[in-house]
Amino acid sequence: MKIFIRESPKEGRLWVSVRDNGRGMDENEAAKAADPFYTTRITRKVGLGIPLFKASAEATDGSFEIRSKKGEGTEIAAMFHTSHIDCLPLGKIEDSIAALIFMNPEMDIEYIHECCSNRFKLDTREIKKVLGDVSISLPEVVDWIKEYVRNGLDELNGGVGNEIS
Measuring CA to CA, which residue among 99, 147, 97, 95 is closest to residue 123?
97
Restricted to residues 44-83, the positions that interact with other proteins (CB under 8 A) are 44, 48-49, 52
Of the pair 81, 98, the CB lying nearest other proteins is at 98
Which one of 151, 158, 160, 161 is in contact with other proteins (CB under 8 A)? Answer: 151
Q: Based on the shown chain and the rule CB under 8 A, indicate whether residue 88 belongs to the binding site for other proteins.
A: no
Q: Based on the shown chain and the rule CB under 8 A, indicate whether residue 108 belongs to the binding site for other proteins.
A: no
Rg (CA), the chain: 17
Q: Residues touching other proteins: how many (CB under 8 A)?
A: 30
Q: What's the 3-state SS for 50-119?
A: HHHHHHHHHCCCCEEEEEEECCCEEEEEEEEECCCCCCCCCCCHHHHHHHHHHHCCCCCCEEEEEECCEE
* Chain contacts with other proteins (rule: CB under 8 A): 43-44, 48-49, 52, 92, 95-96, 98-99, 102-103, 126-127, 130-134, 138-144, 146-148, 151
